[in-house]
Amino acid sequence: MSDAPALAAVVEARLGASDRHVLATMTVSGAPRVSGSRVDVRDGDLVVPVVLRSPKGTDLLGDPRCVVHSNPGDGSMVGDVKITGRAADLVGADGEPRPHGREPVEVVVLVEVVELSVRDPATGEVTVTRWTAPDADSAHDTAGRTGEGSDRR
């Protein structure tokens, strides 16, 4: 039996608790970049609006892998959600970034979801729930549209 539906509900609630979360991308030089980002769940898809001509958009064009961390809030929320994925549909059939101009791209393909929750605040006992997409290995090892296979996590 899969934990995916229960985990999806937890993730959606956690992301819905704040309208800003943290998006981590990889710069061309290999350095990490973290940015505040809006994150939504629409029709079961995780969407992160990114303007492709922005620094984080340029990062995703070079390497579509990304990580979303839930906003820790004001300290009243316990636990964390980390979503590893790939930005999809960044390049059109003509090889140019799509959409042209400054319209945001809003699709992230999920590779892995990890939820950490504090089971017992007194002891610090933590529960970890993890879901990995069936095709996660091939999705996770694709470094970008250049065809490079290195894993620069």
Q: What is the mean pLDDT of the chain?
A: 77
- pLDDT 10s digits, 48-76: 888 878 898 889 988 999 999 988 776 66
Given a cut of 80, whether residue 92 has pLDDT beyond it is: no
- pLDDT 10s digits, 115-133: 888 878 788 888 898 988 8
Domain 4-138 has CATH 3.30.1370.160: no
For the chain, the domains span 4-138
Q: Which of 65, 67, 66, 80 is nearest to 18 (CA)?
A: 80
pLDDT at 152: 30
Tell me the pTM.
0.75
Contact present, 21 and 69 (Cβ < 8 Å) = yes
Given a cut of 90, whether residue 24 has pLDDT beyond it is: yes
- For the beta carbon of residue 23, count every other beta carbon within 10 angstroms: 25
